[in-house]
Structure 1
C-alpha cells in the first residue's frame, strides 16, 4: 500500500503591509507558458479521444521535470529526499492565476470517476479573514473548477487560525499532515489551500513475513539498515543500457502504478540531469513482463519546500513584481502573496487486498528469477493511466529519514 498526501497553500496580505514577495496578474501569462499549450501548439499523438485533460498532461509533465531539476540543484536538498506533487502544484498555480478551464475541470472529473479501486481525493479550500469579502465569481470558480470550499478564520489571533487550518489539512489528508502551518502573520486576509490524498493497494502484495533487514547504500560512504520487502513474481521491467537505468512498474489495483527508476551505481546525477517526460514514455513503452526476485525498501518520507524563489528561477520573474493585481479575487483590497509552501508525504509498505495477496502464492524455480535490489537511491513516480498524469514524483536518497 502507498499513502501519499500533499498540501500547497498561498497566504494573502493587504499590500499596505511589508512583504517579501508579491505576485502580479502576469502569472496568468507565465503559468500559461509553463503549463498549457499555446493556441496553435501541436499535441503528441494519443490513441483514442483527445480529451481536455490529456491536453494538459504534456505541459504539466514538462513543468514537473523542470521543477524537479530546480529542487534537486538547490544546496539545501543535496543528499536529501525530494518528494512533491507536480499535479497539485500546477493546479494551485492555476487557482491563483484564475486560469479556470475545462482541462482541469475534466481532469478532476476523470480522477474522481476512474478510481474504483483507489482512494484519490483532490480539492481546495480558502481560509478567509472575518470581514474580508472575496469576489463572488472567484469563490464560485474555485468551488466549480477546483472543488474548493471557503471558511472563515480570524487571522488577527494567529495561534487560533493556525490550529483551525491545520485541523482542516489533517482531516483532508487523513492525518498524514498534521502540522503544515507553523505560524501566521496577523495581517493575513486569506489562505488558499490545495490538497491531494492517495491510497492504493498493490495488485500483487508483498508478504509481511518475507520482509527482513537489508542494506541501503545512500552513497559510497554511507550504508543504512532498512526493512527490505521481498517478492518473487512477474513485473513490467526494462533495463535501459544507454541510460544506465533499471525501470520497474508496480501496479496498484485501479488505474495507477508506481514507477521505480533505479540508476546504476554512481549514475544518479547523470540520469536526473537529463530525465524528461520523453524518458517516461519511452520506458513505459519498453517495459515487458519479467520474472523478478524483487527487493524494495519499506519506508515513509516527507518533504517540504518554499517555492517562491524556485518559481522565479523557472521564469516567473514578472509574476513576483511589486504590481500584483488580484482584482479578480478582491476589487476592494489590494492583495499580494507573501508565502508559497508545499509539503508531500509518501509511505510504502507490504499491504494489498486479499485478492491480490492470493495471487502472490506463486511457485517457480529460483534459477529463473532475475534478482533486482532497490538498495541505492532511486527516482519514484506515481502515475495515473486514464489522465496520463504524474500525481507524485521524487527521489529517495535515504529511506530512513
Structure 2
C-alpha cells in the first residue's frame, strides 16, 4: 500500500512516486534550452539509523554507555551555469561617508543620540553594505581554499554556499549556530532581540537579485522530507518566510523511487541540463534540502560570431593551445593594479551585474592575486576604472566542476556542524544528527551571446583616444558580481579554456 505524505504549505498530499507538481518559483526551464545559464543547488540529507542497528545499539547500550550514535546530515551543492558605505571588514565597524567621523561599531551606532532622526533607508543601506561585503569576504576565503588545492580550472558559487548556511541558521542553536555566524563574519550583525537578522539579510539579497527582470536570476529552496520525520512546524514556517521553501514529502525507505523523484525535480527545473544529482540514496535518509540559483543573462554588447577564430592561448611559458577567441571593439571599463601586476576589466551584461576579468601580467602569475582577493580590493578596482575604446580578445570557455566542501568549511571554523554534538534542535526534536558531507557542482558556459554578469554604469568615456588592445590569451580569474549590492555571485579561474 502506498503511503501518502503529510500536508504542508500547499495543503496538497504528495504520494510517493507521483509526478512532481509545478514549482512555485519562476521557472526558467524553457529558456535554459536556448540560452546559457547558471543554476545552483544545495541538497541536505539527514539519515537515521536502521531498525536493526537501533535494536543492536539498544542491546549493547549497557555495555557502551559512553558511545554516541549519530544521524547523518549530508549536504550537496549543485550548480549549473550561463549605494556604498565604507566598511571595515575585520571588525564590523561602520564609517559615516558623509561626515568622515571616527568609526563606530554597530552597538554604538544603534545607541547614538539622534539616531532616530536618520532615514530608515540610510540605516538599511549601511547594514546591507556591511553584511554584503562580509559575505563577499567569506566567499573569497572559501575560493582560496579551493584554488590552493587545484592548479587547473576552478569555478564555484559562494552565494550558493551562503544561502545554504543561512538556511541552516534557522535549524541550529548554540555552538553549531555560532560557528556558522563566526565563519561568515556575521556574528557582530546578530541582535538578541532579532535572532533571525542574518536570514533577513539573505532574504533581502534574494529579493533584490530575483526581481531584476533583465538579469533573470531565480533562487529558491526545496525540501524533500520523509513522511515520518518530525520536522518542527516553526522551522517550516520560517523557511517559507525567509527562503520561500517548498516542501515535498517522500518515502525515503523506498530509496529508488525517492531518488527518481529528487532527480526528476532537478531535471525538470533545469530543462534537462542537469539530468540527475544522485545515483543512489540511503533508505535511512530523512530530509533533503536543495538550495538552488538559476542565473541567465546576455552580454549588453555581444561579441560577433563572425570574428571568433582559433587563436593561441598560453597556458604557461612552455605550453600553448588553440582556443576559440572572440573579438569586439567596444567601450570597456578597465584598470591596472601595479602592485598585484594585473589588468582588471569589466564586461557589462543586461541587468545590474558584471563579469570582472582579472588578467595577470605573466602566465601563471595568479597566485598572489588570489591570496589578496577581498571585497575591499574589488571595490578599489571598480572605483579606479576608466572607460575607453578597447579592442578585446576574449576566449570562449565551458567549465564543469564538482567539489567536496565539507573539509573546507571545517577549515573555516564550521566544525560542530559535522560532529556528533551538532545542535539541530530548531529543525527537529530528534537528537544525534550531524552534517556528513557538502558537495558543490558548478557549470558555466561563456560565448558570444553571454553569460550572467553586470552592466557598467556611471563611467565617463574617454573621447578621441587611441584604442587599447587587451588580449586575454593567458590564464585569468573572473568574478561575476551583482552591482546593486556589489554581491559576489560566482568566482572562477580559467587556466585552459578548452578543458572543462
Contact kept, 8 Å, 1:14 with 1:336, in 2: the verdict is: no
Aligned pairs (5 A) from 1:213-224: 213-224=310-321
Quote the Cα distance in structure 1 between the aligned partners of 2:208 and 2:377: 25
1:319 to 1:400, Cα distance in 2 relative to 1, 3 A: same
4+ residue runs over 4 A deviation: 15-23, 44-48
**After superposition, what is the alpha-carbon deviation per residue over 1:332-352, rounded to whole angstroms, capped at 9, x for unaligned?**
464332321112211111116
Report the alpha carbon displacement of residue 367 of structure 1 after superposing the two structures with TM: 9.6
Secondary structure at 1:131 match in 2: coil
- Number of the residue aligned with 1:344: 442
For the residues of structure 1 that align with 2:468 and 2:314, how far apart are their CA atoms? Answer: 20
Q: How does 1:279-290 map to 2 (within 5 A)?
A: 279-290=377-388
Unaligned regions of 5+ residues in structure 1, if any? 24-36, 354-365
Question: 1:238–1:323: structure 2 CA closer, same or farther, 3 Å change rule?
Answer: same
CA gap of 1:166–1:279, structure 2 versus 1, over 3 A, is same
> CA offsets, 1:231-270, max 9 Å, x none?
0111001121221111110111111111111111131112
Correspondence for 1:78:
151
Which shows bigger deviation, 311-320 or 11-20? 11-20
CA–CA distance in structure 2, aligned partners of residues 13 and 97 of structure 1: 19
Match of 1:308 in 2: 406
Q: For residue 180 of structure 1, what is the aligned residue in structure 2? A: 277
The match for 1:122 is: 219
Partner in structure 1 of residue 136 of structure 2? 61
Structure 1 segment 263-342 matched on structure 2, within 5 A: 263-265=360-362, 266-332=364-430, 334-342=432-440
The structure having more radius of gyration, on CA atoms, is: 2
Kept in 2: contact 1:226–1:298 (CA 8 A):
yes
Following superposition, the deviation at residue 58 of structure 1 comes to 1.4
Q: How far apart in 1 are the matches of 2:404 and 2:49?
A: 21
Match of 1:7 in 2: 41
Q: 1:396 maps to which residue?
A: 494
Q: Work out whether residues 382 and 391 of structure 1, in 8 Å CA contact, stay in contact via their aligned partners in 2.
A: yes
The Cα shift of 1:46 comes to 6.7
* Distance (Å, rounded) in 1 between the aligned partners of 2:264 and 2:95: 42
Query: Which residue of 382, 386, 389 maps to 2:480?
Result: 382
2:290 is matched with which residue: 193, 206, 217? 193
Higher relative contact order (CA 8 A, sep 6+): 1
User: How far apart are 1:221 and its partner, in Å?
Assistant: 3.2
Confirm or deny: 8 A CA contact 2:299 2:348 kept in the other structure.
yes
Where 1:272 maps in the other structure, the secondary structure is: helix
CA contact (8 A) 1:5 1:346 kept: no
Offset, 1:298: 1.1
Residue 11 of structure 1 contacts residue 340 of structure 1 at CA under 8 Å; is this kept in 2? no
SS, match of residue 101 in structure 1: helix
> Aligned ranges for residues 348-359 of structure 1 at < 5 Å?
348-351=446-449
Counterpart CA distance in 2 for 1:44 and 1:15 is 52
Partner of 1:360: none
Query: Deviation at 1:395?
Result: 1.1
Q: CA deviation at 1:218?
A: 2.1
User: 1:12-37 deviations in whole A, cap 9, x for unaligned?
Assistant: 112677769779xxxxxxxxxxxxx9
2:94 to 43, 51, 67: 43
RMSD: 2.7
Greater percentage in strand: 1
How far, CA to CA, are the matches of 2:495 and 2:269 in structure 1? 28
CA distance in 2, matches of 1:91, 1:44: 27
Deviations 1:166-222 (A, max 9, x none): 222233334333332233212111111110111111111101111111122223333
Q: How many aligned residue pairs are there? A: 372
Contact 2:48 2:72 survives alignment (8 Å): no
Deviation at 1:223, TM superposition (A): 2.2
Q: Please state whether the residue corresponding to 2:347 is helix, strand or coil.
A: strand
Secondary structure of residue in 1 paired with 2:135:
helix
Q: Take 2:450 and 2:141, find their aligned partners in 1: how far apart are those partners?
A: 33
Does the 8 Å CA contact 1:6/1:345 hold for their aligned counterparts?
Answer: no
Are 2:164 and 1:92 equivalent residues in the alignment?
yes
